[in-house]
Amino acid sequence: MGRPAGRKIYAHAKLRKLRRERGMNQVELARALDLSTSYLNQIEHSRRPLTAPVLLRIAEVFGVDPEFFSEAAEERLATDLRAALADEASGISVEADEITDVAHDHPDIAKALVALHHRYRDAAEQAAALAPPGDSTALVRAEPHDEVRDFFYAHHNHFDALDTEAESTARDLGAGPVSRTAGHLAHALSARHGVTVLEAAPEQAPDARRFDPERGLLFLSPWLTDAQRAFQLATRLALLGHRPLIDSLVTRADFDSEESGGLARIGLANYFAGAVLMPYGAFLAAAEDLRYDIELLQARFGVGFETVCHRLSTLQRTGQRGVPFSFLRADRAGNISKRQSATDFHFSRLGGTCPLWTVYEAFSAPGRILTQVAEMPDGKKYFWIARTVTRGGHGGHGHRARRAEFAVALGCELRHAGRLVYAEGVAVADPRAATPIGLGCRICERRDCAQRARPPAGGRLAVDPDRRTYVPYPVFGDA
């Protein structure tokens, strides 16, 4: 998979690509970097790592951020390639090290293979739609959510242009409690876009918001909190007042379907709304000051636990970065409804996630914040916090209302754990404190896991009938 934390950086493929894009040969680049041509040749052929001074000089010469040479993208690409090759339809078994080498040394080839797999899945989806009812050969329909998720991943879950516009909007609205912010947002929608905000009747409010563009009416559920109301108003303001910016981001992404583009617009509008309620500079300063205490951030900005977690995963402005978090929301059945990341933590899009992950343990302790040091098969370690959240369902908050319960998780590489209040008292440096987890049973290579739902990736597993080491599926009960 990846290489352990603290590893040397071998960015030969990226450096070679940058050089060729600028139309430079090795001699010219070596002269610009004040290096010998032989030394640069060794870097480009992966025989020497990038040292810190060379890395900074390359970033200066090419005008790129040093983070450009992070291996996060290659590690995520390796996971996608491995998931594609692990598809049951491929019938191919490739060693994890070979996949990692392809992703690092030949990223364009790896991307092409992943793209071919996506197109295969799309073609299979069309075949499934034309297949007669009950045809067991039809594959599950591919979801545009994956494409939109990859779009956010590619931007490290950060869109500085939207953040800048949101900060400007927040300054115009003025500081104050979210109830006042909601009022200012409603006034802005009316004054700038002729939109009238109305409260929907309780019995006719299954959705948080419903917009009637013909009449310029925005109906909001009466069951919304002040923060939720402000969030919905800011989302509509983004779609009306900042549509050109959102459309330009979507157009550049070149999505495969209109549905994907529509989902991306909603995601970007929601991003803007969160950035209005929690402006980048003020929120990052508060997060650092409070050591990322989510509940204290809730109190300061007047928003919910999940909203704070989501916003914390977006703080990746160049020169003003927060802890790079991954954010995820899941239900009891393991369905992941939100998945954003500013780091390289990446579960497979095919199959389920790991049952040993603390996000699922959260359901056994509702309302409590749980922590976990998790170790991936490649040895990289992460610090996770998880907690359940409950939201009112259709019909508001009455006795008959259907409620939804989720677990939200926020994680970062273990080296950042010391910046978090949640790491106090946790033996983060003790290797025995780490829980070994995987990317999901479909592609996880761990062979010593008692929680498996299917054989490990990379080949068959021989089972000794006299030693109960692994049984993928119960046979005649499980006495």
Of 59 and 213, more confident: 213
Helix (H, G, I), strand (E, B) or coil at 410: strand
On the question of a common fold for 12-69 and 160-277, the answer reads no
Which structure tokens are listed for 233? 């108003």
Could you say which architecture CATH assigns to the domain 12-69?
Answer: Orthogonal Bundle (1.10)
Question: What are the Cα distances from residue 317, in Å, to 312, 352, 353?
Answer: 12, 32, 30
Q: What is the mean pLDDT of residues 145-157?
A: 85
Would you place residue 349 in the very low, low, confident or very high pLDDT band (cuts 50, 70, 90)?
low
Q: Which fold has domain 160-277?
A: Arc Repressor Mutant, subunit A (1.10.10)
Please determine, for residue 210, whether its predicted confidence score (pLDDT) is greater than 90: no
Domain ranges of the chain: 12-69, 72-142, 160-277, 326-431
Q: What is the dihedral of CA 360, 364, 367, 369, to 10 degrees?
A: -60
- pLDDT tens, residue by residue, 52-70: 788 788 888 887 776 666 6
The answer to whether 175 and 279 are in contact (CB under 8 A) is: no
pLDDT of residue 141: 47
pLDDT of residue 203: 62
Helix (H, G, I), strand (E, B) or coil at 349: coil
Q: List for the chain the helix, strand, coil content (%; round to 5).
A: 45, 10, 40
Summary mean pLDDT of the chain: 81
Would you place residue 334 in the very low, low, confident or very high pLDDT band (cuts 50, 70, 90)?
confident
**Cβ contacts of 373 within 8 Å, gap of 6 or more:** 381, 382, 383, 384, 414, 417, 426, 428, 433, 434, 435
Of 172 and 132, more confident: 172
- Return the number of other C-beta atoms located less than 10 Å from residue 471's C-beta: 12
Work out whether strand 336-341 and strand 370-375 pair parallel, antiparallel, or are unpaired: unpaired
- pLDDT tens, residue by residue, 426-469: 989 898 889 998 877 766 777 778 787 776 654 444 455 554 44
The answer to whether 81 and 73 are in contact (CB under 8 A) is: no
- pLDDT tens, residue by residue, 394-433: 445 666 677 889 999 999 999 999 999 999 999 898 988 8
Residue 375 is given by DSSP the state E
pLDDT of residue 207: 67
Residue 373 is given by DSSP the state E
- pLDDT tens, residue by residue, 217-229: 999 988 888 999 9
Would you place residue 48 in the very low, low, confident or very high pLDDT band (cuts 50, 70, 90)?
confident
Residue type for position 215: R
Q: What is the DSSP string of 266-316?
A: HHHHHHHHHHHHS-HHHHHHHHHHTTT-HHHHHHHHT--HHHHHHHHTT-E
The reported pTM is 0.72
Q: What is the DSSP string of 153-216?
A: HHTTT--HHHHHHHHHHHHHH-S--HHHHHHHHHHHHHHHH-PEEEEPPGGG--SSEEEETTTT
Residue 380 is given by DSSP the state -
pLDDT of residue 265: 96
Name the one residue in this structure whose structure tokens are 């953040």: 163
